[in-house]
Copies of this chain bind each other. A is one copy, B any other.
Amino acid sequence: MAVKTNGKLHRLRQVLAEVTDLTRAARVLEWDQETYMPPGGVPGRAEQLSTLLKLSHVRLTSDEVGRLLDDLEDELADAPFDSDEASIVRVTRRDYDQERKLPSELVAEAAHAGSVARPVWEKARHDDDFSLFAPYLEKNVELNRRIADALGYKERPYDALLDRSEPGMTTRQLALIFAELKQAIVPLVSDIARHADAVDDSVLYRGFDPDLQLSYALNVVRRLGYDLERGRQDLSTHPFSTGIDPGDVRITTRVSRDFFNECLFGSIHESGHGMYSQGMGAGIDRTPLWDGASPGVHESQSRLWENVVGRSLPFWRHFFPSLQAVFPEPLRGVDHEAFYRAVNKAHPSFIRVEADEVTYNMHVLLRFELETELLEGTLKVKDVPEAWSARFKSYLGLDVPNDREGALQDIHWSSVSFGIFPGYTIGNLVSAQLMEKIRADIPDLDAQIETGQFASLLSWLRRHVHIHGRKFTPDELLERATGKPLTAAPWIAYVQKKFGALYGLKQPVRN
């Protein structure tokens, strides 16, 4: 029987290796498209990517894979939950069932709707005319709903969409977490807004040579632990990280002479994603397990390095002298503490992707609420701008001046992709929850960071997060690593303490 199992597992791994190779090839093509592809390559590249993804879908959802999974589930019933074998079968089953549940016509219709809506959304945003985009958003809401119905759910249709990207998470669970966040963060945002002058970030706009910024950033991420033998950094309009295979995990960045944060913090952020992929276990290579546990968990790694480490005082105690040596002019008369304060300036603003550490989750909360309500029909598309403005005022205290800086700002709704936004907040919360445990396990972490030592931090993340890839759901991973499922408390405590000190606020009595 063991031989039989081995034979079937071997066969399953062969198929999964092909599926993985196809998606890896697609990642190379996508990386190339964002970095070096000439303009003429656009139409051909769309065809090539569509073929690769179609073939990988066909291969994964074949009847043969279904039979192998049926047999292996029986034969591996006693295998340990966290063994590579049991996990490969369990996670492949999840992917297989989800992909099989979606009729290919629905997938094609959704892809088509997205490609039709995208240019309309671009024009609507440019013209600041929500009514142009509204009929397309209605169609996309309908398709999101049909996808949710096809996938199935126990309580709320949004559960089905959420489960696709954040396995195991429910709308109910997230709603509770967001309620907790709202209660703590809305008053903090308002406190910060009233003490805005306490932090001066003008130093960041003094002009920094782009080439020097790029080489400095590359040196920093190398020092953090991003392995350049198995990676590289290039320029792209929108920074991203892509894990092609264990030996090839790339990051991109962008650089602005006039705003320091963009390049360095963008690079650190992407290197956080990159180190995650570089740390996945060899036993899960060329299987569906070789990937992040979820977009939210991936984001926890980028945010941990970018914000919790990169925007910390110990970090700047270590790096500021070398930064000042590279940029003596713009940093004349500045010290590490002033620089630390500058890179942490927080203020409510309209655009999510430019939001700071404190306000970011409020942008996500708003989208989470609108998506669930649209999906359930309690909010109509035509009322989205009004709902947006009302909640923006309530959560961030600002009057939204137009839809371009409001409901039309994100590309996400131009395609059929509800359920993605919560991952950004999950990332923030997970980073703080992990860090709480890391500080307990590595009591002198700040002292290590101050002396430029990041190895034990990276090693902790490798052991508790990276090596597992997609083996566990986000909550399973957090339970194993920290003893608790996802909770907002560590992140709330972290920002209250950090920004309370930065802005000279009284510690809140509410919590």
Interface residues, chain A, with chain B CB atoms under 8 Å away:
17-18, 21-22, 24-26, 28-29, 32, 36-45, 47-48, 50-52, 55, 227-232, 234, 244-248, 250, 286
Instruction: Quote the shortest CB–CB distance from A428 to chain B (angstroms).
Output: 30
Q: From the candidates B25, B32, B250, name the one contacting A48 in the complex (CB within 8 A).
A: B25
Contact A28 B32 (CB under 8 A): yes
Contact A21 B42 (CB under 8 A): no
Contact B247 A41 (CB under 8 A): yes
Contacts of A229 in B (CB 8 A): 38-40
Closest to A232 in B: B38
Contacts of A230 in B (CB 8 A): 38-41
Contact B17 A245 (CB under 8 A): no
Interface centre among A28, A228, A230, A234 (most CB of B within 10 A): A28
Closest to A18 in B: B51
Q: From the candidates B22, B41, B232, B234, name the one contacting A51 in the complex (CB within 8 A).
A: B22
Closest to A248 in B: B41
Copies per assembly: 2
Contacts of A232 in B (CB 8 A): 36, 38
Contact B21 A245 (CB under 8 A): no
Contacts of A37 in B (CB 8 A): 248
Contacts of A42 in B (CB 8 A): 247
Contact B48 A245 (CB under 8 A): yes
Contacts of A40 in B (CB 8 A): 227, 229-231, 246-248
Instruction: Quote the shortest CB–CB distance from A211 to chain B (angstroms).
Output: 15
Contacts of A38 in B (CB 8 A): 228-232, 247-248, 250
Instruction: Quote the shortest CB–CB distance from A310 to chain B (angstroms).
Output: 23
Instruction: Quote the shortest CB–CB distance from A406 to chain B (angstroms).
Output: 36
- 14 further contact pairs, Cβ within 8 A, besides A21-B47, A45-B248: A17-B51, A25-B28, A25-B48, A28-B29, A38-B231, A38-B232, A38-B248, A40-B227, A40-B231, A40-B247, A40-B248, A41-B244, A42-B247, A44-B247
Instruction: Quote the shortest CB–CB distance from A306 to chain B (angstroms).
Output: 22
- 28 A-B pairs with CB atoms under 8 Å apart are A17-B47, A17-B51, A18-B51, A18-B55, A21-B50, A22-B52, A24-B44, A25-B26, A25-B28, A25-B48, A25-B51, A28-B28, A36-B232, A36-B234, A38-B229, A38-B230, A38-B231, A39-B247, A40-B227, A40-B230, A40-B231, A41-B230, A41-B248, A42-B247, A44-B245, A44-B248, A45-B245, A55-B55
Known: A55-B55, A247-B43. A48 touches B36 (CB 8 A): no
Contacts of A228 in B (CB 8 A): 38
Instruction: Quote the shortest CB–CB distance from A482 to chain B (angstroms).
Output: 31
Contact B29 A48 (CB under 8 A): no
Known: A17-B51, A47-B286, A51-B18. A29 touches B25 (CB 8 A): yes
Closest to A38 in B: B232
For the complex, give the distance between the alpha carbons of A246 and B48 in Å.
Answer: 13
Closest to A26 in B: B25
Contact B48 A21 (CB under 8 A): yes
Contact A246 B25 (CB under 8 A): no
Instruction: Quote the shortest CB–CB distance from A20 to chain B (angstroms).
Output: 9
For the complex, give the distance between the alpha carbons of A352 and B204 in Å.
Answer: 57
Closest to A42 in B: B247
Instruction: Quote the shortest CB–CB distance from A243 to chain B (angstroms).
Output: 11
For the complex, give the distance between the alpha carbons of A152 and B42 in Å.
Answer: 42
Interface centre among A47, A231, A286 (most CB of B within 10 A): A47
For the complex, give the distance between the alpha carbons of A229 and B39 in Å.
Answer: 6
Known: A32-B28, A38-B232, A229-B39. A244 touches B17 (CB 8 A): no
For the complex, give the distance between the alpha carbons of A165 and B50 in Å.
Answer: 30
